[in-house]
Amino acid sequence: MRLALNEEWAVGARIGGGGFGAVFEAENPAGEKAAVKLVPKTPGTEREMLFTDLDGVRNVVPVIDSGEHEDQWVLVMPRAEKSLRDHLQEHGQLPLNEAVAVLSDVAEALADLKDREVVHRDLKPENVLLLGGHWCLADFGIARYAEATTAQHTYKGAGSLPYMAPEVWKYQRATGATDIYALGVLAYELLEGARPFTGPAEHDYQEQHLHGTPPPLTTAPPLLAALITECLFRAPQGRPAAGNVLARLGQIPAAPLSGGLAALAQANQGAVARQAEADRRASAHATEADRRKTLAEAATTSFSLIADASLTALTAAAPSAEVRKGNQGGWAVRINDAQLTLSGPRETAPEVWRTTSTPAPFDVIASAILSLKVPANYHGYEGRSHSLWYADAQTEDQYQWFETAFMDTRCAPPREPWSPSRSTLTTNHAPPSARG
Q: Are 21 and 39 in contact (CB under 8 A)?
A: yes
Q: How far is CA 164 from CA 159, 181, 198, in A?
A: 6, 8, 12
Which residues, 6 or more positions from 342, have their beta carbon under 8 angstroms from its beta carbon? 307, 310, 311, 326, 330, 331, 332, 368, 369, 370
Q: Are 308 and 267 in contact (CB under 8 A)?
A: yes
Distance between CA atoms of residues 421 and 407, nearest Å: 6
Distance between CA atoms of residues 74 and 68, nearest Å: 5
Distance between CA atoms of residues 112 and 105, nearest Å: 11
Q: How many helices (H) and strands (E) does the chain have?
A: 10, 16
Distance between CA atoms of residues 121 and 256, nearest Å: 34
Active-site residue, 397 included: no
Q: State the burial class of residue 435 (Cβ atoms within 10 Å of its Cβ: 0-12, 13-18, 19+).
A: middle
Give SS3 for 87: helix
Nearest CA among 290, 195, 288 for reference residue 234: 290
Q: Are 241 and 181 in contact (CB under 8 A)?
A: no
- Among candidate residues 65, 105, 112, 122, the one labeled active-site is 122
Point out the residues that are catalytic.
Answer: 122
